Amino acid sequence: MTVRVLIADDETLVRAGFRVLLERDERIEVVGEAADGDEAIALTRAHRPDVILMDVRMPGTDGLTAARRILGDDRLPGVKVIMLTTFELDEYVYTALRSGAVGFLLKDVSPDELRHAVRVVAAGQALLAPAVTRRLIDAFAGGTPPPPGVAALTGREREVVAMVADGLSTAEIAGRLRMSPATAKTHTNRAMTKLGARDRAQLVVFAYRWGLARPPGR
């Protein structure tokens, strides 16, 4: 299955570079390029890409605003957004996640990591850059009072949440726990419902916030 990608960045050379890198993978097709948020919204409506690589900072309508409008549009179901930035500022991460973005990468990502991110997000997984994950861990160190949904999680659901936070895909979780991918997905969805997580990216955040996953190196 070919993953259809839209690139939104105000720098022509950046867009061209990403296109070349992505299209080295025959499973990825770049269907359009946008120079600002408004153009990204218009091209998304026209081409219905599977994944959008969206720069945070663009003139006029910025990437965060464009992502929020796209992901909040009922006429655009299934579109996934990966935010790209040269910065690691916390407010970008939190705003992007609240808007519904399921990926957040820094622009110094390697070519292989970029292509991997597109494929992972298209498959319905969340993906956060390691630097972003570390910031989330630091922000939620010590945690906050957990909601009732945490206590309602079964032992198996807790295992699955921890594995999601470790970056495992549904197929990898299924292999580790010796269950079908459908069963692994069911456990993930039930955990998301109990915790009030909109998607896997939020599930990762909640896992660190409420001690359901062990932060790397801690």
By three-state DSSP, how is residue 122 classified? helix
Query: In the chain, which segments carry CATH 3.40.50.2300?
Result: 3-136
CATH 1.10.10.10 domain locations along the chain: 142-209
pLDDT tens digits for range 188-204: 999 999 998 877 877 88
Q: Which CATH class is domain 142-209?
A: mainly alpha
Other C-beta atoms closer than 10 Å to the C-beta of 50 total 21
Confidence at residue 25, expressed as pLDDT on a 0 to 100 scale = 94
Confidence of residue 218 (pLDDT cuts 50, 70, 90): very low
Position 135 confidence tier, pLDDT thresholds 50, 70, 90 = low
pTM of the model: 0.66
Structure confidence at residue 84 as a pLDDT band (50, 70, 90): confident
* CATH (one of 3.40.50.2300, 3.40.50.1820, 3.40.720.10, 1.10.287.130) for 3-136: 3.40.50.2300
214 DSSP 8-state letter: P
- Arithmetic mean of pLDDT over the chain: 84
Q: What does the alpha-carbon distance between residue 59 and residue 65 come to, in Å, rounded to a whole number?
A: 11
pLDDT of residue 140: 52
Burial class (CB in 10 A: 0-12, 13-18, 19+), 184: buried
Instruction: Look at phi and psi of residue 132 and say left if phi exceeds 0, alpha if psi is from -120 to 50, else beta.
Output: alpha
Distance separating alpha carbons of residues 14 and 9, to the nearest angstrom:
7
Q: How confident is the model at residue 96 (pLDDT cuts 50, 70, 90)?
A: confident
Give me the count of residues in the chain: 218
Given a cut of 80, whether residue 146 has pLDDT beyond it is: no
